[in-house]
Every structure is written in structure tokens, then in C-alpha cells.
Chains A and B, each alone.
Chain A
Amino acid sequence: MVAKQLSVFIENRQGRLHEVLDVLKLNKINILSLSLADTTEYGLLRLIVNDPEKGKDKLTFAGFSTMTTDVLVIKIDHKAGSLQGLLENLSDRGINIEYMYGLSVDGEDAFVVLKTSDLEEALQTLKKIGVTTLSTEDLKDIK
């Protein structure tokens, strides 16, 4: 199963991030996780939210260049070495990680968001080794 990530292009200008967050707040869209990467000129804000399609529509309407991307949200054990083991499996099959960030939740499990070079292949691999991936639907239940 894959989850939808919301990606927003933002210029490196004062207040731009704030404007994005404003739109999400106004439309009661909850952020589960985010990653912000930037160059000197612009940045990409990547978000896992409870309703990515709505987020995309509202942000597009507000004038942002926005899209949704399929990513893997993976549940892993909250202990040393678990992420390393997981990535080793992907790497062995020649699957590259384009970017990755964590999803914080309380409890015994940890979650990571992965964008891989080959989504299908990654999914198959994870299935084989018995790793759970979450869909956007599943994420709605996470508080």
C-alpha cells in the first residue's frame, strides 16, 4: 500500500512557509509529518497530511505549485538497527532512496516516509520481508 505525500514549491522568501501552513490550518488539514529541503533560491515542502487531495486543491487555489506523490510509509521497530536492516534489503535489489524523513508517533513503533527510485519493486521487496506499509487511509487513524 502506498500513501500520498503533498509537495509544495516555495520560494525562499519571508512568510512563504507561513502562508502554506495558514491554508492548511484554515481548511483543518492536519500535518502528520513534514520535511523541508531547500536550495538558495527555493525549497520543496513535503508533507504527510490526513487529507492530501483536499490539501492539494486548497493550496493550488491559493496559488501554490502543488502536487501529490506516491510514497511508502513504513512501520519499523523502535530499536537500533531496524532502519539499517530495512534499507539493506532495498539496496540489495538496486532500489535507491530519493529522500526520506521520519513520522513521529508515540508508542513502540516508528514510521519512516520513503521515496524510492522504483515504487513497485520496493513494495514487492517489503512485502516479501513482511514489512507493513501504510496507506493514506491508515494514516487518518493515527492521532
Chain B
Amino acid sequence: MIWSKEETLSRKEIEKIQLERLQETVNRVYEKVEPYRKKMDEKGVKPSDIKTLKDLSKLPFVTKQDMRDTYPFGLFAVEKDKLVRIHASSGTTGKPTVVGYTQKDLEMWTECVSRIACMGGATEKDVAQICFGYGMFTGALGLHYGLENIGATIIPSSTGNSEKQIMYMKDFGTTLLVATPSYALRRAEVALSMGIDPKKDLKVKIGLVGSELLTDAMRAEMHKFWGEDMLVTSNYGMSELMGPGVSGECECLDGMHINEDFFIPEIINPKTGEVLPAGEKGELVITCIKKEGLPLIRYRTKDITRLIYEPCKCGRTFVRMENLSGRSDDMLKIRGVNVFPSQIEEVILNFDELGPHYEIIVEREGYSDMLTIRVELAKATDSFAELEKISRGVKNKLKIMLGLDAKVKLESPNTLQRFEGKAKRIKDLRSL
């Protein structure tokens, strides 16, 4: 089901809305947000210079660092008393980044998430269990209001207490799961250890996953545990921009539709900042054009993707962004080779003998980088030949995929750390 008529507007109509809203937003931040005015003045660009959508590239970028430098409310475009909610990012390095919403911002957010929930197959009949941590993190409340808005029944179970999560699923008849892919897989493991087969004993048929990359291999793994008929879609967002709901995958599973009446996407070369032609891969830059509280302009997401403008079979006209191939700051440079954890994940998930959890360790030995992958055995064996075959198989596949030699360490089941939120699977020990 398509939630809003905006999602099927013609390109011309979309661009008309975008330009109007962009001009309005740029005028407003120039007037109200001092750091923006300074940045624009430094670049010698005035709001009146924005005459077409192409002129967007004249505007300066905003980065996470800008948000930290103006912590907590420096980039806000409204008085503090107009805010009705505040969220903050996890802030893995130093101070968190703070985001604020006006009443209208919350309404827009709910609208955006309702759209992506419908893209993922949700209806008012669904019983949606939200396994994101409630709190300062935008994920849980974003999905919560969006799904409630379409009439689904919400189970705000948050994270943790594994057995109880499974009990709710079984007793309340959960049909839709909101989680990170790794958390959803972990729950399936817990269910199995309780003697409950998610495929047969639970009714979960829809997975709305986010906050972590969903690779094809990970999706296959989800199907293996939760059933072939489960519709698993990924959605995208980040607290700085609003939270989840910036874009989402429809049933065609061929990229995530960006809510273009609220966000303008651009793809840039992450090194030079230059805008790349349509269809090329690069860093995603997003401009918020309908937000009141924190309307970030040309925010550098650090996420690597490409935009797909060809029409989608689902009937929606909003541009799609390809499922992420990584984050520019997640990217590891090992012996001069660019490595995305998602590539390693894809290799591992292709081995039935291995579980879906892994850890990537990069160390420095002398002047050379050493890559070690820790994986868990999913099938027991009594044969060294078999074990040898698995680790050699992974090594060979990694060599083909990355052109790098890696050490593969087989571990017992449940040895590697499990994560309730975003999985932290990389240990880069080189910088220590």
C-alpha cells in the first residue's frame, strides 16, 4: 500500500516542491542560525543565489563536527521553548549530537515513518514489536509513532530480556519485527534454544530492519531463521536528519525510496566534495527542507551509496538509494586496500557451517597490517579436515573478494559478543 499521494508525484512536481521548500529553508537558516550565516558569508553565497535546485551545490556542507562545535543547540533554527522533544545520538566519540523537534517536526517524522512502514508491507492489522532501545536513540520512538499512525498494534518491548521478548512474540501474536538485523538473528537463536522455531511457532512475517547495514547475505540469513516468506526491508535515517524514515525499501527490494518532499539527496566525492553525476557511487549528502527545529543543509552522512532515478515497479516516483555499501568512516584501509565490513560479512554468511556473527580484528605486526576474522561454528564436526576446509574456504573467498590474506579463527557458538543496538564488529588495534 502507498501511504501518501506525494509518493507518486511526477519528477517535475517533486522538483517544484523541493525548490520552494529549499529556498524557504535557506532563507530561514540564514536569518536565524548564526553559524550558517557565517559559513555562507565565508563562501560568498546569499539565500537569493538559490534560484534552481542545481544551486544547492553552492551552499556549504554541514558535518557532525559542526554539530559538536555548536553543542548542544547552536544549529537550531527555533527558540528552545518551541521544541517539544529532544533526542541525542549515541556519541561514540565525545559529546553526543543533539537534535530537537517542534510539534510540526514530529508530525513530519511520523508521516515519513508511516510511509516506509507501508513500503515494508505493514498494515493496520499488524502487531509490531519494537526491539530498539527506547530512550535518547531515535530508532524506537520513530518507528513507534509511524507504525501507530497507520493503526498497527505496538509492543514497545525495547531491547534486552531475550526470553521475555520471545514470550511476547508468541503470546501476543507479533507479526512485525523492528530491530537491527543482528538483533533479529540473535532473537531467532534464543527462540530456538527455548524450543521455539520462529518459522513454525511464531507469526512474524515482516521485518523492518535498520540502524545497521542489511546485505543480501544477511537478508538470506534472516529468511533462513525466520522463514522464506518473511518480507525483510531495510530503512534508513539518522538522528541528525530526523531519525528513521529518511528512506525505506519497498517490496521490490531494489533500493530505498527517499522521502523527497522532505529531503534532497546528493552524491559527492568524499575527498573533493564535488557533486557526482546521477548514478555514480559516493557519499550521500542530505538537505532537510521541511524541518523547523534543526534543518540541516547539505549534511554529510558519511554513508556510501548511489541514487537510482529509474522508475520503480512499485509505482512510487521518489528516487531510490542503493542499500548502503558501507560508511566512509567504517571503511578500513588494510595494506592499502579499502575494505568494508559488509564485504567480509557477505563471505561469512555464504558458509552454512558458520553462524552469522563475526568480529574483524586489524592489528599491526611490524610494518604490516594483519587481518583476523573471528567466526563461530554453527555445525559441529569431528573432523580436522572439515574444520580446515571451512577456514581455508573463508580465506580463499576473502582473498578473491578483497585481494587480502586474512587469518580465520574458528570459535565455539556464542563466543562472540552479541549487541543489543548497532553491532560493533570491528576492532582496529592499529591506532592504539
Residues 23-48 of A contacting B (Cβ, < 8 Å): 37, 39, 41-42, 44, 46
Given A9-B410, A63-B413, are A42 and B387 also a contact pair (CB < 8 Å)?
yes
- 15 extra A-B contacts, CB within 8 A, seeds A7-B382, A9-B387, A11-B409: A7-B380, A7-B381, A9-B377, A9-B380, A11-B411, A37-B384, A41-B410, A42-B410, A44-B384, A44-B387, A63-B412, A63-B415, A64-B412, A67-B380, A67-B381
Flag whether A116 is at the interface (Cβ < 8 A): no
Asked if A67 and B414 sit within 8 Å, CB to CB, the answer is no
Find chain A residues with CB under 8 A from B410 CB.
9, 11, 41-42
Find chain B residues with CB under 8 A from A9 CB.
377, 380-381, 387, 410, 412
Q: What is the distance, in angstroms, from B390's C-beta to the closest C-beta of chain A?
A: 11
Flag whether A104 is at the interface (Cβ < 8 A): no
Nearest-CB residue, chain A, relative to B410: A42
- The 6 A-B pairs at the shortest CB distance, nearest first, are namely A67-B380, A7-B382, A69-B382, A63-B414, A65-B377, A65-B380
Q: What is the distance, in angstroms, from B413's C-beta to the closest C-beta of chain A?
A: 6
Using an 8 Å CB-CB cutoff, how does the interface string of B224-260 with A read, 1 for contact, 0 for none?
A: 0000000000000000000000000000000000000
Flag whether A66 is at the interface (Cβ < 8 A): yes
Flag whether A10 is at the interface (Cβ < 8 A): yes
Nearest-CB residue, chain B, relative to A12: B409
Give the contact-size bracket for chain B. Answer: 10 to 19
Q: What is the distance, in angstroms, from B416's C-beta to the closest C-beta of chain A?
A: 11
Given A9-B412, A11-B411, are A39 and B377 also a contact pair (CB < 8 Å)?
no
Flag whether A5 is at the interface (Cβ < 8 A): yes
Nearest-CB residue, chain A, relative to B379: A65
Residues of chain A having any CB pair with chain B under 8 Å: 5, 7, 9-11, 37, 39, 41-42, 44, 46, 60, 63-67, 69, 98, 115
Find chain A residues with CB under 8 A from B377 CB.
9, 65
Residues 398-432 of B contacting A (Cβ, < 8 Å): 409-415
Nearest-CB residue, chain A, relative to B391: A41
Asked if A11 and B412 sit within 8 Å, CB to CB, the answer is yes
Q: What is the distance, in angstroms, from A48's C-beta to the closest C-beta of chain B?
A: 13
Find chain B residues with CB under 8 A from A44 CB.
382-384, 387
Q: List 14 A-B contacts (CB under 8 A).
A: A7-B380, A9-B380, A9-B412, A11-B409, A11-B411, A11-B412, A39-B384, A42-B387, A60-B380, A63-B413, A65-B379, A65-B412, A67-B381, A67-B382
Q: What is the distance, in angstroms, from A54's C-beta to the closest C-beta of chain B?
A: 16
Given A63-B415, A64-B412, A65-B413, are A5 and B387 also a contact pair (CB < 8 Å)?
no
Using an 8 Å CB-CB cutoff, how does the interface string of B326-348 with A read, 1 for contact, 0 for none?
A: 00000000000000000000000
Interface centre among B380, B414, B415 (most CB of A within 10 A): B380
Nearest-CB residue, chain A, relative to B414: A63
Nearest-CB residue, chain B, relative to A71: B382
Q: What is the distance, in angstroms, from A63's C-beta to the closest C-beta of chain B?
A: 4
Find chain B residues with CB under 8 A from A46 CB.
382
Find chain B residues with CB under 8 A from A41 CB.
391, 409-410
Q: How far is the CA of A5 from the CA of B381 in the complex (A)?
A: 12
Nearest-CB residue, chain B, relative to A61: B193
Asked if B384 and A10 sit within 8 Å, CB to CB, the answer is no
Q: What is the distance, in angstroms, from B352's C-beta to the closest C-beta of chain A?
A: 14
Q: What is the distance, in angstroms, from A14's C-beta to the closest C-beta of chain B?
A: 14
Q: How far is the CA of A63 from the CA of B377 in the complex (A)?
A: 11
Q: How far is the CA of A11 from the CA of B415 in the complex (A)?
A: 10
Q: What is the distance, in angstroms, from A127's C-beta to the closest C-beta of chain B?
A: 24
Nearest-CB residue, chain B, relative to A11: B411
Q: How far is the CA of A17 from the CA of B132 in the complex (A)?
A: 37
